[in-house]
């Protein structure tokens, strides 16, 4: 009789401790989530990295909106699963340790439980796969583009062409001299000539590498695509806010890989038209020049 009493007491004590631990864990998790949600806004850079940033840079395109949404959904799914497993472990440790459960049950196998722990994870994975494939399709299926920009990765800078807007081409080099940086330009990201695009327009980006593989990536736009010699790759973005968005070459390409930033200035339609007019005058391309790189090399070698 006394033995039974002691066991019951142990069980109740165990359950109370479990509840307490569970409550505390929930409180910690809620605090962390609240902090993350709050800090997210404060420290997320807009188009550029920022001090103490702990999450993505702010999104500026529908694709990046989706990436952020998908990422956040996954994060909460993972947290829920991790907490669930943790709670199970705590219950096992508190209620079924040698002291509170001296004579363990010999039960093995439980069909319902075994089916459940197989089927539920499958359902979770399928639920994750649906938005994942939808996002992949959104990224890879370029909608009808309003304009095309060709970005050529070179050692170690980018060259931009606007095939729909006339024959001009310009190089975009990092500003190396700190004294020459504009007040709003971040060090190591600011360039002399930014790639300029109109706001709320679908921009098709074609990438190619001149000599080695580079990669064209702009975090706020949710794009990252290799620029490979001899092959044109394609991606797209539609920037919904004006501003300057920075990215970097994202494929190790040689000694100055870290110093070939990408800067995209998103402007109004009118400002874009004015810029195109200026660009045509400033960087008119000489058509007599050889257009392929092998020929260009031969010319310079001669």
Contact residues for Cu ion, defined by CB under 5 A: 214, 249, 253, 257
Tell the smallest beta-carbon distance from residue 299 to Cu ion (Å).
26
Alpha helix ranges (H) inside the chain: 2-43, 62-95, 111-140, 269-282, 293-301
Nearer to Cu ion, 246 or 272 (CB): 246
Nearer to Cu ion, 194 or 226 (CB): 226
Tell the smallest beta-carbon distance from residue 248 to Cu ion (Å).
8
Nearer to Cu ion, 190 or 261 (CB): 261
Tell the smallest beta-carbon distance from residue 207 to Cu ion (Å).
12
Angstrom distance (rounded) from CA 11 to CA 5? 10
Nearer to Cu ion, 119 or 258 (CB): 258
Angstrom distance (rounded) from CA 302 to CA 105? 88
Nearer to Cu ion, 222 or 261 (CB): 261
- Per DSSP, the residues of 45-72 read -SSS--TT--SPPPP-SHHHHHHHHHHH
C-alpha to C-alpha distances, 110 to 107, 117, 121, 248, nearest whole angstrom: 9, 11, 17, 54
Query: What are the start-end ranges of the E strands in 155-292?
Result: 157-161, 169-172, 195-198, 202-209, 214-218, 223-227, 233-238, 243-249, 262-267
Nearer to Cu ion, 100 or 250 (CB): 250
Nearer to Cu ion, 68 or 189 (CB): 189
Angstrom distance (rounded) from CA 159 to CA 207? 10
- CA 165, 188, 152: angle at the middle one, nearest 5? 35
Residue 265 has a CB neighbour count (10 Å cut-off) of 19
Kindly give the pairing relationship between strand 147-154 and strand 202-209: parallel
Tell the smallest beta-carbon distance from residue 47 to Cu ion (Å).
20
Tell the smallest beta-carbon distance from residue 258 to Cu ion (Å).
8
Tell the smallest beta-carbon distance from residue 264 to Cu ion (Å).
17
Angstrom distance (rounded) from CA 65 to CA 129? 18
Tell the smallest beta-carbon distance from residue 159 to Cu ion (Å).
14
Residues in the chain: 302
């Amino acid at each position: 009789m006394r033995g039974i009493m002691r066991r019951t007491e142990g069980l109740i004590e165990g359950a109370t401790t479990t509840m307490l631990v569970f409550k505390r864990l929930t409180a910690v998790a809620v605090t962390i989530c609240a902090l993350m949600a709050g800090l997210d806004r404060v420290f997320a850079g807009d188009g550029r990295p920022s001090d103490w940033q702990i999450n993505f840079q702010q999104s500026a395109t529908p694709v990046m909106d989706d990436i952020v949404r998908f990422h956040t959904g996954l994060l909460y799914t993972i947290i829920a699963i991790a907490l669930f497993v943790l709670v199970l472990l705590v219950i096992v440790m508190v209620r079924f340790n040698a002291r509170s459960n001296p004579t363990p049950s010999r039960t093995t196998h439980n069909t319902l439980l075994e089916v459940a722990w197989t089927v539920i994870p499958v359902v979770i994975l399928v639920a994750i796969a649906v938005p994942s494939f939808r996002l992949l399709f959104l990224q890879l299926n370029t909608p009808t583009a309003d304009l095309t920009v060709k970005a050529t990765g070179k050692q170690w800078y980018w060259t931009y062409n606007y095939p729909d807007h006339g024959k001009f081409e310009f190089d975009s080099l990092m500003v190396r001299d700190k004294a020459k940086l504009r007040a709003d330009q971040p060090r190591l990201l600011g360039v002399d000539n930014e790639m300029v695009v109109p706001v709320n327009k679908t921009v098709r980006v074609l990438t190619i590498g001149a000599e080695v593989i580079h990669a064209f990536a702009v975090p706020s736009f949710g794009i990252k695509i290799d620029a490979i010699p001899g092959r044109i790759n394609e991606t797209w973005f539609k920037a919904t806010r004006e501003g300057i968005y920075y990215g970097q070459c994202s494929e190790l390409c040689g000694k100055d890989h870290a110093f070939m930033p990408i800067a995209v200035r998103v402007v109004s339609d009118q400002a874009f038209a004015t810029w195109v007019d200026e660009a045509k005058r400033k960087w008119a391309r000489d058509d007599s020049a050889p257009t392929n790189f092998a020929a260009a090399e031969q010319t310079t070698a001669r």
